[in-house]
């Protein structure tokens, strides 16, 4: 049977827009496809929630691909290794309490677990704004304003599109891009000491790993912080290529949102 290019094109267009239109009303929209975003997406989707993940870059996985300084191994401490073991990964104990795993294997496995659980992934998709509404006298995030990443990178004046989400997870890492937009464009306060972004401090892996989980929470009605975005929001430290806290943060935010959606 001969291949017809127009049928290939039609198949791609039809299936993509079937997926896209199915995601206009979400339980959870995850912004950022790093380890915490992937883990949260996986854990929410396997519970049956409708979840979509939006990643600006062509590839998902965030900084995990490169390990430390492009040396593609990562470290996970005892507290977080069970998450990777659940995903089917074998970890090697380098020293007591320090477990190593190939960064590429880890990243692709987390991505696969999320996709196979039912997460709808939209790469090359930028979140340029949020939707905000007043509900019962309280302002709340109710959705995302999205655009094609090439449009953003080229600086083209092309209007975005909108989708609804009951909850949004800010998982854009150090940059906290969604929260910066929320604060810049609206007269609102976050659930932080100053009401704004406290900012990321320098390297202190031990404290940062613990605080990544502690600071994972709903920071404004309808939007949650996870992973490095949680530490950048609440003024804690960076941790480098140790990922247990990132994974645990993803599990925590998934459980907390699940509890709200089921209540």
Write out pLDDT tens, residues 68-83.
999 999 999 999 999 9
Each residue's pLDDT tens digit, 108-166: 999 999 999 999 999 999 999 999 999 999 999 999 999 999 999 999 999 999 999 99
Decide: helix, strand or coil at residue 79: helix
**Considering only CA atoms, which of 178, 173, 181, 260 is closest in space to residue 208?**
173
Q: What is the mean pLDDT of residues 176-189?
A: 98
135-222-226 Cα angle (round to 5) = 170
92 three-state secondary structure: strand
Contact 100, 94 (CB under 8 A): yes
Query: For residues 192 and 173, is the Cβ–Cβ distance under 8 A?
Result: no
pLDDT confidence band for 248 (50 / 70 / 90): very high
Mean pLDDT across 180-192:
97
pTM of the model: 0.97
**Is residue 33 helix, strand or coil?**
coil
Asked whether 208 and 239 are in contact (CB, 8 A), the reply is yes
What pLDDT score does 45 carry? Answer: 98
Structure confidence at residue 65 (pLDDT):
95
The model's pLDDT over 13-44, given as tens digits with 9 standing for 90+, comes to: 999 999 999 999 999 999 999 999 999 999 99
Are the beta carbons of 64 and 107 closer than 8 angstroms?
A: yes
**Percent of the chain at pLDDT exceeding 90:** 99
- State the Cα–Cα distance between residues 173 and 179, nearest whole angstrom: 11
| CA separation, residue 227 to residues 9, 76, 159, 175, 233 (Å) | 38, 14, 30, 11, 10
The DSSP string of 147-198 is EEHHHHHHT-----EEEEEEEEEE--GGG-HHHHHHHHHS----SSSSSS--
**Nearest partner of 89 among 111, 68, 120, 59, judged by Cα:** 111
**What pLDDT shows up at residue 135?**
94
pLDDT of residue 142: 98
> Distance between CA 88 and CA 74 in Å, rounded?
16
pLDDT band, very low/low/confident/very high, at 89 (cuts 50, 70, 90) = very high
What is the reported pLDDT for 1?
Answer: 83
Average pLDDT, the chain: 97
Q: What is each CA distance from 252 to 83, 207, 217, 258, in whole angstroms?
A: 12, 18, 8, 10
Beta pairing, strands 223-225 & 217-220: antiparallel
Please write the tens of the pLDDT for every residue from 120-130: 999 999 999 99
* Torsion angle of C-alpha atoms 102, 104, 109, 111, degrees rounded to 10: 150
pLDDT at residue number 165: 98
Cβ proximity of 190 and 215 under 8 Å:
no
Q: Based on C-alpha coordinates, what's the Rg of the chain?
A: 19
Distances (CA, A) of 43 to 40, 106, 128: 5, 16, 26
Q: CA torsion sign, 125 to 72 to 212 to 46?
A: positive
pLDDT in tens, 47-72: 999 999 999 999 999 999 999 999 99
What is the predicted pLDDT for the residue at 10? Answer: 98
**Domains of the chain by start residue, with CATH:** 24-69+103-262 (3.50.50.60)
């Amino acid at each position: 049977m001969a291949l017809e290019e127009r049928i290939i094109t039609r198949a791609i267009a039809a299936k993509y827009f079937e997926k896209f239109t199915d995601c206009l009303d979400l339980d959870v929209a995850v912004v950022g496809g790093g380890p915490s975003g992937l883990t949260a997406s996986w854990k929410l989707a396997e519970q049956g929630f409708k979840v979509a993940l939006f990643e600006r870059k062509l590839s998902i996985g965030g900084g995990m691909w490169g390990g430390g300084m492009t040396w593609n191994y990562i470290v996970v401490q005892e507290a977080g290794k069970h998450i990777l073991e659940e995903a089917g990964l074998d970890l090697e104990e380098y020293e007591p309490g320090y477990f190593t795993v190939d960064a590429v294997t880890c990243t692709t496995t987390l991505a696969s677990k999320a996709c196979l659980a039912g997460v709808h992934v939209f790469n090359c998709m930028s979140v340029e704004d949020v939707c905000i509404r007043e509900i019962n006298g309280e302002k709340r995030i109710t959705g995302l304003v999205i655009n094609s990443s090439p449009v953003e990178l080229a600086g083209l004046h092309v209007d975005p599109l909108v989708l609804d989400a009951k909850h949004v997870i800010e998982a854009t890492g150090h940059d906290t891009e969604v929260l910066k937009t929320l604060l810049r464009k609206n007269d609102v306060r976050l659930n932080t000491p100053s009401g704004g972004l406290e900012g990321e401090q320098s390297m202190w892996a031990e404290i940062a790993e613990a605080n990544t989980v502690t600071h994972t929470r709903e920071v404004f009605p309808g939007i949650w912080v996870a992973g490095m975005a949680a530490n950048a929001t609440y003024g804690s430290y960076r941790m480098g290529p140790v990922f247990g806290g990132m994974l645990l943060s993803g599990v925590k935010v998934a459980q907390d949102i699940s509890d709200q959606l089921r209540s």
